[in-house]
């Protein structure tokens, strides 16, 4: 597809279960970002991938959160032992690369995670 694709669009899980959220960036985009948006809030940076470089994990809120990006394309955000405070919309974005002045991020529609 032409845009950033995220799946699932909605995920309901029970407290303590693990969840995996998927992001398929725009073809050719080397940079990929994950954000979390709680209800009525702004975007909280989680993690950044740039090409084959080591990811910037500085935004991950706890060690229950992890992410990988296979083959420089698709990324998976994993949340282990989910808690109710993990309920939020998880947004993925991709861009052409780090060293461009006009580094526009293009966002997916997000995954709405509800932890019961």
Partner 1 sequence: AQKITQTQPGMFVQEKEAVTLDCTYDTSDPSYGLFWYKQPSSGEMIFLIYQGSYDQQNATEGRYSLNFQKARKSANLVISASQLGDSAMYFCAMREPTGNQFYFGTGTSLTVIP
The residues that touch partner 1, with contacts defined as CB under 8 A, are 33, 35, 41-43, 45, 48, 50, 56, 59, 89, 91, 93, 98-99, 101-110, 112
> Where does residue 110 rank: exposed (0-12), middle (13-18), buried (19+ CB within 10 A)?
buried
70/99 with CB nearer partner 1: 99
16/97 with CB nearer partner 1: 97
As measured in angstroms, the least distance from the Cβ of 81 to partner 1 is 26
| Total length of the chain | 116
| Contact between 35 and 91 (Cβ < 8 Å) | yes
> Where does residue 73 rank: exposed (0-12), middle (13-18), buried (19+ CB within 10 A)?
middle
| Contact between 69 and 32 (Cβ < 8 Å) | yes
As measured in angstroms, the least distance from the Cβ of 16 to partner 1 is 26
As measured in angstroms, the least distance from the Cβ of 22 to partner 1 is 16
1/14 with CB nearer partner 1: 1
């Amino acid at each position: 597809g032409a845009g950033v694709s995220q799946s699932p669009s909605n995920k309901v899980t029970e407290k303590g279960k693990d969840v995996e959220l998927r992001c398929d960036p725009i073809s050719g985009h080397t940079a990929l970002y994950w954000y979390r948006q709680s209800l009525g809030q702004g975007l909280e940076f989680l993690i950044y991938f740039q090409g084959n470089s080591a990811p910037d994990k500085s935004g991950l809120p706890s060690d229950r959160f992890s992410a990988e990006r296979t083959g420089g394309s698709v990324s998976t955000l994993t949340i282990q032992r989910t808690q109710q405070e993990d309920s939020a919309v998880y947004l993925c974005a991709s861009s052409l690369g780090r060293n461009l002045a006009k580094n526009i991020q293009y966002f997916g529609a997000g995954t709405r995670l509800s932890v019961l």
